Each structure stands twice: as C-alpha cells, then as structure tokens.
Amino acid sequence: MLRSRIIPCLLVRNNGLVKTIKFTDEKYVGDPINAVRIFNEKEVDELVVLDIDASVQGRGPDFKMIGDLAAECRMPLCYGGGITSAQDARHIMSLGVEKVALSSAIIQRPDLIGEIAEEVGRQSVVAVLDVRLDRAGHYSVWTHNGKTETGLNPVALAKDFESRGVGEIVVNSIDGDGTMKGYDLELCRQIREAVRVPMTVLGGAGSLKDLQTVIQKHGPIGVSAGSLFVFKGIYRAVLINYPSHADRERIQQGQLP
C-alpha cells in the first residue's frame, strides 16, 4: 500500500535557513546543516531544500552547499534553485541528491523538462508551481519569489508539465506560505484531479491535523511544510520538530482527533 509522505521544506538564503510569510517577512531560523542533522534523528520521510535567491539573482546552484547538505542527509533529498540545464541537474544528482526541483526555468523554457528527464530520469524531475489567488478569484502561477506574475493557470501548466516528462508536481500556495492557517484545499483538489504523477502540497500547514486532512482527501500524496516543522507555539519559537512514529501512523490512518 502506498503511503503519503510528510516532508519538511527548508528555505535557504545566503547559506542560512530562513522562513517567510507569503514570500515576505523573512525570519532567520538557523543553520541548514544543523536542521538536516536533527531531521536525520527524527527519520523524516523526505526533505526539500530550496535556495530562494538563486533564480532571482540569476546565478547557478551553490554546489558546495548542496554537497555539504547531501553528505549529512540520510533521507531522500530534493534540491531546487538556479538549475537551468541538464548538466546542472546531473552534477547535483552526482552529489547525492535524489530529485531536482524546477520552477521559473521550465516556465521560461519548457523543453528543459525533457532534457533533464532524459539525463537523470523522469522520477527525479520535480516541477514547483508557486500559486496566488487574484482579486477575481482566479489562480495564477508566479515566479522569482512571488515577484513575477506569469498569467498562467496552474492546472493547465501542471498538465502540460506532466505531458513533457516531470515526475512530480509541488503546488505551493503563496497566500498560505507561513500563515499556518491550513492548506488551500481547493487548489490542491484542482491539481490532484488534473494530473496522474505524484503530487506534493505546500503552504499553510499549521497542525498535524492539516496534514491528515489532505491525506484523507487526496492520498497517497506528499504533504510538505516549513513553519510547522521549524516553529513551536504561538510565539513561533525556533524548534526543529517532526511528528513521532505514532503520530505519523495516526495521520496516515486518519486517527488524529
């Protein structure tokens, strides 16, 4: 039986771990290597690390940082940020990373999906869609840390990316990012019904019950979160955390109260 994955998502800026709210209001939360070591101890399902500056600054991946993270990481690792070629992807995979995440680069040049899939395998190619709801109530994909609107519909884009060879789609709600008020379940539903490849939802998780809700509605699926796994309590004190094995089983079975 396929199980849903519970995935911490770490945002990196200037080699430091940060957390944002709606892609702004950044807060420094520590050393990413230390976070990886703690997540190792907690035996997390998978880890996503996104360099949120690389594409915005027009630079490539920081291979040394990626290598350092991969050397510490004892769970499947997905990295995104600054990847613009199949050669980038191959180098990153050679460092011990299992998946590469792509966003603005494949929106600007969709053929890159097939090139990377041919180089490293479709299962290792992840498309990240950063989505915002406009005033008219329509979903639209944005890039470059939510600064550039593409005007593209996320459902149509997800279907196109699937046809071009992505192995997984991550749907990230900009409006939900860091708010800890729950996932955008409607956005999740629309994408889940449109594609057959594995999907991960990100943006808004504030409790383990939020993870359970998505898994019960759309599982098997990936449920990813940032703030939920790096903050604790109403004052958002920094504390790297992850559900216990018992709680993970309850989430999978829909048994949380």
Distance CA 90, CA 85 (A): 9
Token pair belonging to 69: 């993270």
Q: Using CA atoms, how far apart are residues 139 and 135, in angstroms rounded to an integer?
A: 10
Give the CB-side neighbour count of residue 209, counting CA atoms within 13 A.
5
Instruction: Check if the beta carbon of residue 108 is closer than 8 Å to that of residue 55.
Output: no
On whether the CB atoms of residues 6 and 248 are closer than 8 A, the answer is yes
Identify any residues that bridge with 237 across adjacent strands, giving them in sequence order: 232
| DSSP notation for 100-119 | EEESHHHHH-THHHHHHHHH
CA-CA distances (angstroms) from residue 116 to 8, 78, 168, 210? Answer: 24, 15, 13, 33
> Under a CB-based contact definition with an 8 Å cutoff, are residues 94 and 100 in contact?
no
Handedness of CA 8, 48, 75, 230 (dihedral sign): negative
Residue 130 appears among annotated catalytic residues:
yes
Q: How many CA atoms lie within 13 A of 254 on its CB side?
A: 8
User: Which residue out of 45, 62, 130, 177 is catalytically annotated?
Assistant: 130
Say if CB 177 and CB 21 are below 8 A apart.
yes
Q: Are strands 16-21 and 24-30 parallel, antiparallel or unpaired?
A: antiparallel
> Which active-site residues does the annotation give?
130
